[in-house]
Structure 1
Amino acid sequence: MSRLPLAALVAAFFVGLAWFVSARQALLLLVGVGLGSVLASTRFSFTTGWRRLILSRDPRSVIAQLTLLAAAAAISMPLLARFPTELNAALGPPSISLLVGAFVFGLTMQIADGCGSGTLYKAGLGVPLNMTILPLFALGSFIGSAQMDWWLALGNVNPIGLVQLYGPIEAFGITCLGLIVLALAALIWSGKKTPWFDRRLLIGAIALAVLMGLNLIIAGQPWGIVYGFGLWAAKIATASGFFNPSHNWFWSQPDNSQILSQFVLLDVTSITNIGVLAGALLVSAGKPPARAPRLTPTQWAAGLVAGFVMGYSSRLAFGCNVGAVFSGISTGSLHGWIWVPMAFCGTLIGVRLRRYLNFSG
């Protein structure tokens, strides 16, 4: 489909949301379209960036990611302090499930070649593997949510928010100090002669930070991916009679139960997920399909299994690269700082498994 009729469909959907649902949901759709467009047009890939740092000692994408975190924190932390009852941080409890989930997610995202946002926007670009992984990711996320009580029983502590604990200025200073340490580590690892500046990626980082700030203001919560996926699968399982949410710890929680019972377009995460898909579609509209290497049956099987496990582990880890790292760290959640080293350790194994399976890139 060419870009003009696709843009007309998105515009019609926007008007329909504003008229029949709410102005907030319509605005969140536009935020999602912006996020998807920036991700797709700049190829801002969290998964590939980590892989390039490890294999090619190329720090450019990681430096852009750290820039995104700093910019998003500069926007989000003052807002959270100014409006503590209206806006919520992306807090997750430090727990055994977080340690296991982040490690497994970091491993599987390399084989699946995409995290939560990467799977979304690459599916929008028409990449066959990511298009096929998307429903499996949703199924895995749902099953992970349904088993959360068992995982949390293994050990957890209450979420820790730096803004609530220290205040916005101190929290931002601590966050920037941590980001500087990570940037220096990436530069030292890559070597002195390796370029670290990529104008396209840094512009994408700033644009994403602004859009994340808008998402926080409009939705009252940071940008997320995983919850929407799990919700879609939960709705299907409930409607088909295979799942009774009232008998499940996670989905019987008042907030989750209410969202599950509502029309899916009332869910803020679902709307931005749809927007990300639409934004990527708009970028790819009228262009030849995204070039993707031909996969062997073994590679297809590995990718699909990884996609399912990635969805499962993302729920255990209280988010993917977006919900746990970028939204978590930028809003002062300690669990985001735990997520990063655990996922990076998993990625160290994942990139080697990827090479063993002869995936390109």
Structure 2
Amino acid sequence: MILTGLLLGTVLGFVFQRGRFCVTGAFRDIFTLRSTRWLTAFMVVVAVQSVGVFALDLFGAISLQSGTFPWLGTILGGFIFGFAIVLAGGCATGTYYRAGEGLVGSWLALIFYIAGAAAFRFGPLAGTTEAVRSVEATNGSFHETLGVNPWILVLLLVVGVGIAVMRHLARERRVTKVRLPASKTGIAHVLTEKAWHPFVTAVIIGLIAIAAWPLSWATGRESGLGITGPSANIGVFLGNGDLQLVDWGVMLVLGLLIGSFIAAKTSGEFKIRVPDARTAVRSIVGGTLMGWGAAWAGGCTIGNAMVNTATFSFQGWTALVCMILGTGVATRIFIMNHQRAGGSARPVVSPASASPAPASATR
């Protein structure tokens, strides 16, 4: 049954790579471009998943539990993680799928992200994680605290995100678009050449995220998509060889590498790219900080900002806000100040702009 994780992860990696779905870019664009287009796409994933996950809970396929709210670890870890993804050039999933594209800098970030997550969750630094996450509030969800039916919050979320989507689509219709001639036709054109719209990609990711819940629960892992926990398990497994650590989540993240490699190879975007020394150092530092921040926060941009937000947990929404703030601070330090000084922002290029555009990309 855990092989369903590998299959789903492969599909997810393919979609992330072909859709150029960059969470780091979504957060960073708020500060550099004053644009919320990609952030809106991210929220589409949350809204779609929210509908699906509460429907699964309603029909008994899963059973959602709110738990507590470890606010101190969520705030500190979320900020650290948001800061780190700018240095690393991508969040957890972005690092996985860029590694599948052949970016050596992402390989470094991924290695140290895995090592950092393992150290702060199971290794010598696990005590710090336990300490900060022991500071908590009793109620862990908005709907329980407010005493309202969660479907009211689902409706408000869907309506709010829908309005934002319509505003962005209206703006796009006013922009003149130029498309390069396609070299492929049919399904090959769609899957390997055509530029995917962010909102279409977001809907697909949302549906995949919904499917992750029952597939994961069927193996005894009572959760949806998650990157940090499985990554930490990989780090510990490489150290002690304990096969019990290889669960559905581990298969999922391994699938991300496979799917992104397939997507990059078939679209002609795979290429081994070796970073300069400065980028390599930032990738290492960023990856390590990502592991630290995600461990303290209880998840990354997927497990927290995409999944826990869909269930209206305080941890998920607090982590999302703190990650955006951390990204903003790092963006100001490493990108905006650097640009004002007349330099280049090469070390922190996001996946959305790192690879050549497909032949039919909208310009």
Same topology, TM > 0.5: yes
What TM-score, normalized by structure 1, do the two folds share? 0.76
Q: What is residue 144 of structure 1 aligned with on the other side?
A: 120
Q: What is residue 345 of structure 1 aligned with on the other side?
A: 325
1:130 to 102, 106, 122: 106
Tell me the number of residue pairs that the alignment of Structure 1 and Structure 2 aligns: 307
**Distance of aligned partners of 1:89 and 1:319 in 2 relative to their CA distance in 1, 3 Å threshold:** farther
- State the shift of 1:179 in Å: 5.1
Contact kept, 8 Å, 2:68 with 2:137, in 1: the verdict is no
Amino acid of the structure 2 residue aligned with 1:149: E
Give the Cα–Cα distance (whole angstroms) in 2 for the partners of residues 353 and 90 of structure 1: 37
- State the shift of 1:161 in Å: 3.2
Give the Cα–Cα distance (whole angstroms) in 2 for the partners of residues 76 and 54 of structure 1: 31
Q: What is residue 224 of structure 1 aligned with on the other side?
A: 226
Give the Cα–Cα distance (whole angstroms) in 1 for the partners of residues 201 and 209 of structure 2: 12
Q: CA RMSD in A?
A: 3.0
Aligned ranges 1:31-110 → 2 under 5 Å: 31-83=8-60, 86-88=62-64, 93-110=69-86
Q: Deviations over 1:53-97 (max 9, x none)?
A: 32122322111111111111111112123327x444686723211
Please say which of residues 223-232 and 165-174 is displaced more in the overlay: 165-174
1:273 to 243, 250, 253: 253
2:264 to 265, 284, 287: 284
Q: Deviations over 1:109-164 (max 9, x none)?
A: 011111111111111111111111111101111122123222224x2124513466
What TM-score, normalized by structure 2, do the two folds share? 0.76
Tell me the percent identity.
19
Please say which of residues 160-169 and 323-332 is displaced more in the overlay: 160-169
**Distance of aligned partners of 1:90 and 1:212 in 2 relative to their CA distance in 1, 3 Å threshold:** farther
**Distance of aligned partners of 1:270 and 1:92 in 2 relative to their CA distance in 1, 3 Å threshold:** farther
Higher helix fraction: Structure 1 or Structure 2?
A: 1
1:173 to 155, 175, 183: 155
- State the shift of 1:269 in Å: 0.9
Q: Deviations over 1:251-270 (max 9, x none)?
A: xxxxxxxxxx54344x1110
Give the Cα–Cα distance (whole angstroms) in 1 for the partners of residues 269 and 322 of structure 2: 38
Contact kept, 8 Å, 2:19 with 2:196, in 1: the verdict is no
Give the Cα–Cα distance (whole angstroms) in 2 for the partners of residues 131 and 342 of structure 1: 26
Aligned ranges 1:346-361 → 2 under 5 Å: 346-355=326-335, 356=338, 358-360=344-346, 361=349
Q: What is residue 201 of structure 1 aligned with on the other side?
A: 198
Give the Cα–Cα distance (whole angstroms) in 1 for the partners of residues 109 and 139 of structure 2: 31
Give the Cα–Cα distance (whole angstroms) in 2 for the partners of residues 59 and 162 of structure 1: 24
**Distance of aligned partners of 1:58 and 1:279 in 2 relative to their CA distance in 1, 3 Å threshold:** same
- Unpaired runs of 5+ residues, structure 2, are 176-194, 218-222, 350-363
Question: Secondary structure at 1:341's aligned position in 2?
Answer: helix
Q: What is residue 211 of structure 1 aligned with on the other side?
A: 208
Contact kept, 8 Å, 2:85 with 2:286, in 1: the verdict is yes
Q: Deviations over 1:269-322 (max 9, x none)?
A: 101101111110111225353485x64423321221111111111111111110
Contact kept, 8 Å, 1:90 with 1:328, in 2: the verdict is no
Give the Cα–Cα distance (whole angstroms) in 2 for the partners of residues 111 and 354 of structure 1: 8
